[in-house]
Amino acid sequence: MPYAVKERRIDGGQLVSPAPKPALDMSVNVAGITLKNPVMAASGSFGYGVEFEDVVTLDRLGGFVVKGLSREPMAGNPPPRLFETAAGMLNAIGLQNVGVRAFLEEKLPLLNNIKNIVFFCNVFGHSQEEYEDVVRMLNDGAGIAAYELNVSCPNTKCGGISFGSDPKMLFDVVSAVKKIATRPLIVKLSPNVTSIPEVARAAEEAGADAISLVNTFVAMAIDAETRKPRISNVTAGLSGPAIKPIALRMVWEAAKAVKIPVIGIGGISTAEDVVEFLLAGATAIEVGTVNFWDPCACETLVDSLEKWCLEHRIEKISDLTGGLTIE
């Protein structure tokens, strides 16, 4: 969207048209993948993408990440699985999904019928072998731009410890998947760790092409009247605007710790939110919880972000990345 060009009068009344301003460049590059803008829909908030085709102009988005895929189909947790909190949301869906085989057979052909879109596949498992199996099967699928590894899952072989909470386990699973992946590998980090820089560096050293953060924070809610948990799983993941300040800090810390691109996630709902994450060091962002109350949020965010850049005379949005000024 170019700047408007207006004529002006100089001495003598002659009309002079000023030189046109350069067009706004909204594109960014993540792990060698060009996105038309930095706004992506986050995994778990956007289905498999095809469900939003009649609601959102998908090719307006920088991209989107499909719902997490496991080796076998998963039914998820019993309800209640969602609970609205002050400025946020708790969810314990339980990684419900159709499984990688059904995705390749039923969802992927529909995605490939949509032109001019970029989508990533989120991958998870409860053992290193499961991660490898899912990626190995996805390697044969057409049109996938990259993989996003969800390392917040419990490693059942190690007593349920999250892959992402232990730098060594994280290194092992990322390096193993990297060896077989035929596409760029993005590692989605958990915020439930002692040191985000440490796990970010572990992912980079294992071969990650980019990292995304943050995933949800472990939290819970209780009904004071019934004295029972609000969520059947008792604990759940907290997301939404409530976590934004913490997520922003973690993105800033991670971006300083690694040289690979960072994708920022956490409570983003306005153009100003996007700009803050870019200034903190993110190359692109993912939008999650806001999609639950406004399915058109991502597309609206692209429009408002373009307007913000034009109003602030930004010519290349990528120039904002890492532009935080600290005196």
What is the mean pLDDT of the segment spanning 60-79? 96
Tokens 């699928």 identify what position? Answer: 141
What is the mean pLDDT of the segment spanning 268-289? 98
> Looking at per-residue confidence, does 327 or 283 come out higher?
283
Cα atoms in the 13 Å half-sphere on the side-chain side of 269:
17
- Write down the domain spans for the chain: 29-79+93-220+238-320
What's the pTM? 0.92
Distance CA 161, CA 175 (A): 18
Of 318, 308, 266, nearest in space to 287 by CA: 266
Q: Which amino acid is at 35?
A: L
Residue pLDDT, tens place only, 158-209: 666 789 999 999 999 999 999 999 999 999 999 999 999 999 999 999 999 9
- Active-site annotation holds for 153: yes
Using pLDDT thresholds of 50, 70 and 90, give the confidence band for residue 23.
Answer: confident
Answer yes or no: are the C-beta atoms of 48 and 103 closer than 8 Å.
Answer: yes
Cα atoms in the 13 Å half-sphere on the side-chain side of 105:
5
Predicted confidence at residue 266, as pLDDT, reads: 97
Predicted confidence at residue 153, as pLDDT, reads: 80
User: Does the pLDDT of residue 212 top 60, yes or no?
Assistant: yes
Predicted confidence at residue 327, as pLDDT, reads: 78
Predicted confidence at residue 246, as pLDDT, reads: 98
Residue pLDDT, tens place only, 27-69: 999 999 999 999 999 999 999 999 999 999 999 999 999 999 9
User: Does the pLDDT of residue 267 top 80, yes or no?
Assistant: yes
CA 298 centroid distance within chain: 12
User: Does the pLDDT of residue 19 top 70, yes or no?
Assistant: no
Q: Which amino acid is at 27?
A: S
Concatenate the DSSP letters of all residues of 144-201 into one string. --EEEEE--SEEGGGTTEEGGGSHHHHHHHHHHHHHH-SS-EEEE--S-SS-HHHHHH
User: Does the pLDDT of residue 4 top 90, yes or no?
Assistant: no
- Percent above pLDDT 70 for the chain: 92
Neighbours of 202 (CB within 10 A): 24
Q: Is 29-79+93-220+238-320 a CATH 1.10.3720.10 domain?
A: no
Per the DSSP assignment, residues forming a β-bridge with 286 are: 40, 265
Q: Say which of 121, 153, 298, 309 is annotated catalytic.
A: 153
Distance CA 282, CA 316 (A): 15
User: Does the pLDDT of residue 282 top 90, yes or no?
Assistant: yes
